[in-house]
Amino acid sequence: MNLSFQILSDQFLLNFSYLWLIVIATTIGIIIGAMPGFGSANTIIMLLPFTLAVDVDVAMIFMVSLFVASHMGGGITSILLNIPGNGGSAATCLDGYPMARKGLGQQALVLSFVASTVGGMVTALLSIFLLPYIARLAFYMHSVEMVVILLFGITLIASVASDNMLKGLIAGFLGLLIGAIGADHIYSTPRGTFGFIELYDGVPLIAVLIGVFAISEALIMMENSSVLSDAGRQMMKQAGWKETWEGVVMSFQRTWHMIWTGIIGLIIGIVPGAGASIAAFVAYQQSRLYSKTPEKYGTGIPEGVIAPESANNGCASGDLIPLLVIGVPGGTTAAVMLIVMTYHGVQLGPRLFIQNPGLGYGVFITMLVAYAVMLFTTLPLTKYVSKLVLIPTPVLAPIIIAFTLVGAFAPRGYMFDLWLTLIFGAIGYVCRKTGFNVVALLIGVILGPMLEANVMRALRISGNDPWVFVSSPVGNVLWVALAVSLAIPSIVQWRRNRAASRAATA
């Protein structure tokens, strides 16, 4: 893979010559990223006539800019309304929304934007200079390794349910059961579909996401006159540019936190099919695990916003690496990009970096430019966007329901999905009112089907030999890391209790 200063400089000049297009694409991406159900893949599909009509370099600049912007945009509604714009932003709700309720929504938005930018830019730079080595990770991440990575994410159920472990685990297992609905991964036998053909592909994630978060949150909002507490409302009314600067300072005080959680997103993103949801939840779980104050997670702390947002955007680079290096798309949006590049006659895989290295490395240059553009365009807007929470809930809640129901209908175009979304909205409302954690439920729905698919695939390949799960050197390293991760909280708690007892007897 030939990389030279000339290639990089040419690509930077090309991107700056199309800066106007990057601004348009990032604006569209942020808007659709903040709207549940309107993903980047669907938007690019709608705009296929444009991407097929222009040169492939221009098409890639547009698609990549829109793609990374949608990752950043998802955090806006997660923070302000407790409604994730996409699966990768769901973990941001855990601390972003509590910050907004305290009147710190402006700072939380700045944390989200800066973490997204730093995570995205650091991983894009790593991808440029370490691409040949990073790409090899995809060859070592098979079903066994994916099982362990998914278990990292599922252990977050215990973390988010720490206030009431029993109810949290019940919600998590309910999510796993909902994720099992549909045709099984080996024999395609329908399970729990109740005869509805619309459920044969499984319960649509968008319906669950919008139902348990958006619809249920809107119903909860209707019970109060405002999203904010009284103190938070007063703080938001007085907020100005000083709060934006506070958010910037808070972000860069945690620079290393943004970097290492972004790298987690990059590594997970490289695995085809893993996606931003896993990356965000795993990064949040690891951030909480190694924190000196894990008990503060979920109450509205900066690290709880930084970790998932940085990983979510770090995953964007990882998603595109297998597409460029081995011709296998890492996600839905990457699959649409594959269609466009194939139409233009681009040969993906190792030959791409021999025949057209500028296009291969240009993807990551576009990411750098797009993130820089977004940072300078979004930071000044945080002062105004954060005021959204000042809208009275009798006005805000119906608007949320109307927009999100459109988002639930858009991906598949089935009326069935609307009814399903309302059902999950009722489930989410009951869960919130009775103290069952909806995030734990969502983790089960997202990660459960992936875990089952990888477990079954590993067993089928090995002839149903359970020892296959400890047969991989990389997998065994991950098993040890998982065991250490699970043991550390208990060890830390034991040491704290011991120190407290010593202090009491002294």
pLDDT in tens, 455-483: 888 888 888 888 888 888 888 888 888 88
The neighbouring-strand residues paired with 182 are 191
Weakest-pLDDT range from 42-56, 67-81, 220-234: 220-234
Q: When comparing pLDDT for 117 and 6, which is higher? A: 117
Instruction: Indicate the domain borders of the chain.
Output: 5-471
80, two tokens: 């302000």
Confidence band, pLDDT 50/70/90 cuts, at residue 231: low
- CA terminus-to-terminus distance, the chain: 64
DSSP 8-state class, residue 39: -
Whole-number average pLDDT of the chain:
82
Q: Residue 162: pLDDT above 70?
A: no
The C-alpha atoms of residue 429 and residue 245 are separated, in whole angstroms, by 36
CB neighbours (10 Å) of residue 494?
10
**CA-based Rg of the chain, rounded to a whole angstrom?**
22
In angstroms, the Cα distances linking 188 to 181, 182, 202, 420 are: 11, 8, 11, 22
Instruction: Give the pLDDT mean for 291-303.
Output: 85
Instruction: Give the pLDDT mean for 316-329.
Output: 79
Q: Buried b vs exposed e over 382-398: b needs ≥16 C-beta within 10 Å?
A: bbebbebbeeebeebbe
The C-alpha atoms of residue 138 and residue 124 are separated, in whole angstroms, by 17
Q: Residue 93: pLDDT above 90?
A: no
Residue 500's Cα: distance from chain center in Å? Answer: 38
The pLDDT, as a whole number, for residue 311 is 92
Instruction: Give the pLDDT mean for 94-118.
Output: 89
The pLDDT, as a whole number, for residue 329 is 72
118, two tokens: 């730093």
Instruction: Give the pLDDT mean for 387-403.
Output: 80
The C-alpha atoms of residue 71 and residue 500 are separated, in whole angstroms, by 43
Confidence band, pLDDT 50/70/90 cuts, at residue 236: low
Are the CB atoms for 452 and 175 separated by under 8 Å? no
Q: When comparing pLDDT for 157 and 244, which is higher? A: 244
Q: What is the pLDDT of residues 425-457, one digit of tens each?
A: 999 899 888 888 887 888 888 788 888 888 888
Q: Residue 137: pLDDT above 90?
A: no
Confidence band, pLDDT 50/70/90 cuts, at residue 160: low
Q: Residue 208: pLDDT above 90?
A: no
Q: Residue 230: pLDDT above 70?
A: no
The pLDDT, as a whole number, for residue 260 is 92
The fraction of the chain above a pLDDT of 70, given in percent, is 89
> Which residues contact residue 165 at a Cβ distance below 8 angstroms, ignoring those fewer than 6 apart?
158
Are the CB atoms for 313 and 268 separated by under 8 Å? no
Q: Residue 259: pLDDT above 90?
A: yes
Q: Residue 4: pLDDT above 70?
A: no
Instruction: Give the pLDDT mean for 213-229.
Output: 77
The pLDDT, as a whole number, for residue 156 is 67
Q: Residue 402: pLDDT above 60?
A: yes
Q: Which helix (H) or strand (E) holds 205?
A: helix 205-209
85, two tokens: 């714009």
Q: When comparing pLDDT for 381 and 120, which is higher? A: 120
The pLDDT, as a whole number, for residue 256 is 92
The C-alpha atoms of residue 312 and residue 257 are separated, in whole angstroms, by 14
Closest CA to 40 of 49, 28, 50, 52: 28
The C-alpha atoms of residue 497 and residue 502 are separated, in whole angstroms, by 9
Closest CA to 2 of 353, 359, 361: 353
H helix intervals, 381-437 = 382-385, 393-409, 415-434
The pLDDT, as a whole number, for residue 41 is 74
DSSP 8-state class, residue 412: T
Q: When comparing pLDDT for 279 and 331, which is higher? A: 279
Instruction: Give the pLDDT mean for 267-271.
Output: 81
Q: When comparing pLDDT for 137 and 461, which is higher? A: 461
DSSP 43-54: HHHHTHHHHHHS
Q: When comparing pLDDT for 58 and 131, which is higher? A: 58
Q: When comparing pLDDT for 328 and 283, which is higher? A: 283
